[in-house]
Amino acid sequence: MATNPTFQLFPSSNDKSSQGSGLGLGFLDSPEPALPPPPPPIEVFSSEASSIAVDKVTIGEITLLKGRVSTKEVFGLPNSDLVPGVYEGGLKLWEGSIDLVKALEKESLTGNLSFSGKRVLELGCGHALPGIYACLKGADAIHFQDFNAEVLRCLTIPNLYANLSEKTSSVSVSETQVRFFAGEWSEVHQILPLVNDGETDKKSGYDIILMAETIYSISAQKSLYELIKRCLVYPDGAVYMAAKKYYFGVGGGTRQFLSMIEKDGVLASTLVSEVTDGSSNVREVWKLSYK
- The mean per-residue pLDDT over the stretch 188-212 comes to 86
Instruction: Return the pLDDT at 58.
Output: 94
Q: What percent of the chain stands above pLDDT 90?
A: 60
- The mean per-residue pLDDT over the stretch 236-246 comes to 96
Q: pLDDT tens digit string along 47-56? A: 998 888 899 9
Instruction: Return the pLDDT at 203.
Output: 74
Distance CA 243, CA 174 (A): 31
Q: What distances in angstroms separate CA 125 from CA 80, 146, 147, one per listed residue?
A: 15, 6, 9
Residue 15 scores a pLDDT above 90: no
Distance CA 99, CA 181 (A): 24
Asked if 196 and 234 touch (Cβ cutoff 8 Å), the reply is yes
Asked if 41 and 187 touch (Cβ cutoff 8 Å), the reply is yes
Q: What distances in angstroms separate CA 266 from CA 24, 236, 262, one per listed residue?
A: 16, 13, 8
Query: 192 or 71: which carries more pLDDT confidence?
Result: 192
**Mean pLDDT of the chain, nearest integer:** 82
All residues at 6 or more sequence positions from 126 whose CB lies less than 8 Å from its CB, including other chains: 89, 90, 91, 92, 93, 94, 97, 146, 151, 155, 156
Distance CA 275, CA 7 (A): 18
Question: Which pairing describes strands 208-212 and 177-182: parallel, antiparallel, or unpaired?
Answer: unpaired
Mean pLDDT highest for which of 12-21, 157-166, 219-228? 219-228
Residue 17 scores a pLDDT above 50: no
Residue 93 scores a pLDDT above 90: no
Residue 18 scores a pLDDT above 50: no
Query: 154 or 257: which carries more pLDDT confidence?
Result: 257
Of 73-77, 99-103, 207-211, 248-252, which range is least confident?
73-77
| pTM to 2 decimal places | 0.81
Instruction: Return the pLDDT at 167.
Output: 72
Of 131, 112, 93, the C-alpha closest to 213 is: 93
- The mean per-residue pLDDT over the stretch 200-210 comes to 84
pLDDT confidence tier of residue 103, bands split at 50, 70 and 90: very high
For 46, which DSSP code? Answer: G
Q: What percent of the chain stands above pLDDT 70?
A: 75
- The mean per-residue pLDDT over the stretch 136-161 comes to 93
Instruction: Return the pLDDT at 196.
Output: 82
Residue 68 scores a pLDDT above 50: yes
Instruction: Return the pLDDT at 24.
Output: 46
